[in-house]
Amino acid sequence: MNDKIQLAQRIARIAAGFAMMMAVLLIANFVQTRLNKPIDNKTIPALVKRLSESPGDEALKTEIRAFDLMARKAYFTSQWQIRTGSYLMFLGIIISILAVRYILSARSKLNEIDGIEKENGLDKLAAQKWVIYVGSGLIVLALVSGFLASNSLKDYKVNENMVIQEEKPTETVSAPVNQEQPSALADQTTEPELPPTNQKSVLASAPNVKPVETLAAPEPAALAAKPGSLPTKAELKTNYPFFRGPEGNGVAYQKNTPTDWNGTAGKNVIWKVKVPKSGFSSPIIWGDRLFVTGADAQSRVVYCYDKNSGKLLWEAAADNIEGSPAKMPKVTTDTGLAAPTMATDGKAVFAIFATGDVIALEMNGKRLWARNLGMPDNHYGHGSSLIVYKDKLLIQYDTNKSGKLMALDTQTGKIVWETARSSKISWSSPILVNTGNRTELILTTNPNVNGYDPQTGKELWNIACLSGEVGPSAGYTDGMVFAANEYAKLVGIKIGGGSPEIAWEADEFLPEVSSPLAVNGLLYVATTYGVLACYDAKTGTKNWSQEYGDSFYSSPVYADGKVYITDMTGKTHIVKAIKDYQLVGTPELGEKAVCSPVFQDGRAYLRGMNNLYCLGIK
């Protein structure tokens, strides 16, 4: 028994010493972060200034990317050190406590607890209260240091030319050449189940709709879906109802898409309007109407435009909502309060803001319902876009506090189902896919890629393969899901036949915000350092990579046999959707942009930082 007690004493000493060492390292990490500010590198702005004077200096561009890479690595390294150090410190404390408890229990059984030898090292340590106080104080100081260091990194704001992990701009999707690919739209026309009636709906009071034209006339037949009906597959394909198209995966079903425009010169600019309030939400379109959101500290607004003329038809404020916070959440200027893209089922349009406010409006701007989901704990600002499945509005709500997937009844706003998610915060958006056997809702986050039943919210499968702050949404084609994130990896996941499994992995080109596009057996990935890469979707073999020199935060979009990708300067790079690299054109918007183009009726609609454009042959 004495031998066991002596062993426990050694374990207690070692564990306590290890915990103290971890505490000292956490404090040292905090001091180093405060003194050196690993992300706040003044070298990069200086180099960028030099680049503005010599824009063609390729060596300087390479140097800037290298410094930017080091800064980002410093961020993730610091976060890893804080998390790992805290876990190890707690492990040491727990082991030392268990060892001491064992010693006391063992000696009590030997009736030696009252006669403990004072020269015993462990008991001497326990008898010296100042040692306990100092050790406890050191641990508390370490925890505070870790918390402050983590928050210091989270509060970091990038240059205004960068966009931090915001929602991927809406992407359009055109009919893939492979028409045999199953579509998630196929089963969206069945009759909906009745939503539960025991849920409390938070309905809005008087709506604040500001008509810009007379809205008394009946809705045009082409504008709204039939009352009580679900949108058909053909209606979803003809219109542009969600972020990244009718399935949310970056594939559009429009033809004769434009390839040549110049916003500065006015070439092929059908119309151009300034959106009153800023936002990074991309347009959605139904019939002749186009919708975007904008917000500032004063108000959150939905705007409706005539897609043919650019005329503002109406605007509606998301106000007077029960539970809505009086104080706006802290967000970065690069994400803002109106990052998520809206959704529509042809009968109503739906919007969500960084306040957690969700609003449903009829096609003429009249409020249908509104509710607050609770202000999301998000250090950049909420960015996940909305999508509709049958009669359900689906919302990915992954925050720092918790993760969940929700379905609201599109007519009433009542919660139909809610599924808790074992995940960390993310800025990605859901996509709908049809595997041939069933429709699945695919979500990406840290560390999981998940498949859910969109009708019930039941988790169908889960693969842990990502890390970091996940912004890119998933891609899908031919039974393969594609997920990626910077400083993690790019993975191809085979689903639809038994248990999902990772078919291949790559790590050469990884996106930070831009979502993968999968179509025609090819996979396209765009990076923040200006590279567009094309892979074989089944094997992960790289077909080609092309460096353009300017950052990509928008996502690649497939339309009419072509892939469109807009860089942050507003230049759109158009390539043929084939195995070999073939450039079609590089039209310029004339202002910065982070949104992807939306296509309909032979025209492209693209939101810049300041204006909304309709582009096409005049």
CATH number of the domain where residue 316 is located: 2.130.10.10
Least confident of 39-53, 460-474, 500-514: 39-53
So what's the pLDDT on residue 95?
A: 87
Same structural domain, 144 and 210: no
Q: d(Cα 453, Cα 457) in Å, to the nearest integer?
A: 5
Give the model confidence (pLDDT) of 388-412 as tens digits.
Answer: 999 999 999 999 988 999 999 999 9
Q: What does the pLDDT average to over 78-91?
A: 73
Cβ pair 533, 517 in contact under 8 A: no
Q: d(Cα 370, Cα 326) in Å, to the nearest integer?
A: 16
Q: Any bridge partners for residue 611, and if so which?
A: 274
What's 432-477 look like in SS3? Answer: EEECCCCEEEEEECCCEEEEECCCCCCEEEEEECCCCCECCCCEEE
Same structural domain, 208 and 109: no
Q: d(Cα 172, Cα 242) in Å, to the nearest integer?
A: 9
What single-letter amino acid sits at 544?
A: W
Same structural domain, 319 and 258: yes
Give the model confidence (pLDDT) of 258-284 as tens digits.
Answer: 999 999 999 999 999 999 999 999 999
Q: Is residue 196 part of a domain?
A: no
- Among 138, 154, 170, give the residue marking a domain's end: 154
So what's the pLDDT on residue 187?
A: 63
Residue with tokens 């063992």: 106
pTM of the model: 0.72
Give the model confidence (pLDDT) of 138-186 as tens digits.
Answer: 667 666 666 666 555 444 444 433 333 334 333 333 333 344 446 677 6
Same structural domain, 142 and 248: no
Give the model confidence (pLDDT) of 130-150 as tens digits.
Answer: 556 556 666 676 666 666 665
Q: Give me 266's structure tokens.
A: 């006015």
Same structural domain, 254 and 119: no
Using a 10 angstrom Cβ sphere, with 0-12 exposed, 13-18 middle and 19 or more buried, the burial of residue 192 is: middle
Same structural domain, 211 and 135: no
What single-letter amino acid sits at 264?
A: T
Q: d(Cα 614, Cα 332) in Å, to the nearest integer?
A: 28
Same structural domain, 97 and 209: no
Q: Is 515 helix (H, G, I), strand (E, B) or coil?
A: coil
In this prediction, residue 45 has a pLDDT band, given cuts at 50, 70 and 90, of: confident
Residue in 255, 102, 128 with CA at minimum distance from that of residue 616: 255
Same structural domain, 284 and 141: no
Q: How many domains does the chain have?
A: 2
Q: How far is CA 392 from the centre of its chain?
A: 21
Q: How many Cβ atoms from other residues are within 10 Å of residue 141's Cβ?
A: 15
Q: Is residue 408 part of a domain?
A: yes
Q: Give me 542's structure tokens.
A: 């790289």
Q: Is residue 80 part of a domain?
A: yes
β pairing state of 598-600 and 603-607 = antiparallel
So what's the pLDDT on residue 492?
A: 98
Q: d(Cα 451, Cα 605) in Å, to the nearest integer?
A: 31
Q: Is residue 223 part of a domain?
A: no
Q: Mean pLDDT, the chain, as a whole number?
A: 82
Same structural domain, 443 and 361: yes
Is the link from the previous residue into 597 a cis peptide, with omega within 30 of 0?
no
Least confident of 132-146, 351-365, 372-386, 589-603: 132-146
- Among 154, 177, 192, give the residue marking a domain's end: 154
Q: Is residue 397 part of a domain?
A: yes
In this prediction, residue 196 has a pLDDT band, given cuts at 50, 70 and 90, of: very low
So what's the pLDDT on residue 268?
A: 97
Q: Which residues contact 57 (CB under 8 A, 6 or more apart)?
A: 50, 51
C-alpha angle 414-415-420 in degrees, rounded to nearest 5:
165
So what's the pLDDT on residue 229?
A: 80
Same structural domain, 277 and 137: no
Q: Is residue 335 part of a domain?
A: yes
- Flag whether pLDDT at 94 surpasses 50: yes
Same structural domain, 263 and 146: no
- Per the structure, the complete domain to which residue 573 belongs is given by 204-215+235-615
Same structural domain, 260 and 342: yes
- Please report, in angstroms and rounded to a whole number, the separation of the first and last CA atoms in the chain: 93
Q: Is residue 180 part of a domain?
A: no
Q: d(Cα 351, Cα 173) in Å, to the nearest integer?
A: 21
Q: d(Cα 519, Cα 504) in Å, to the nearest integer?
A: 17
Q: Is residue 600 part of a domain?
A: yes
